[in-house]
Amino acid sequence: MFFGRVYLAHEGINAQISVPASNVETFRAQLYAFDPALEGLRLNIALDDDGKSFWVLRMKVRDRIVADGIDDPHFDASNVGEYLQAAEVNAMLDDPRCTIYRHA
């Protein structure tokens, strides 16, 4: 039996599910078999064996998963900038020609 919470929205799925360790591989197989688009979906596994994570399984459809305050319907979260390695960020922070803006 699975317990937890699952949020479904246009931008994706956010789920925290409690699965007994003896059923993790069965859960993974069922998840991947459910829809080809889920094949290979990365699962972050955290071990917590007190048995009190969740008492029920709740699934909710939401307008959005992340409450980011962005109301622009044309906003595209997949339109991202260039990924930097930590060493590149550190070099930028040390470069006097680089201006870093931070909001408080």
pLDDT at 89: 93
The enclosing H or E element of 8 equals strand 3-9
Containing structural domain, residue 56: 1-66
Residue 82 placed within a domain: no
Task: Answer for the pair 33, 91: CB distance below 8 angstroms, yes or no.
Answer: no
Residue 102 placed within a domain: no
Residue 78 placed within a domain: no
Residue 44 placed within a domain: yes
* DSSP H helical ranges for the chain: 24-34, 86-94
> Has residue 54 got a pLDDT over 90?
no
> Has residue 48 got a pLDDT over 90?
no
Query: Which CATH number does the domain housing residue 30 bear?
Result: 3.30.70.100
Confidence of residue 75 (pLDDT cuts 50, 70, 90): confident
Residue 34 placed within a domain: yes
Residue 101 placed within a domain: no
Whole-structure pTM value: 0.57
Residue 91 placed within a domain: no
Mean pLDDT of 49-59: 79
pLDDT at 93: 92
Total domains in the chain come to 1
Residue 5 placed within a domain: yes
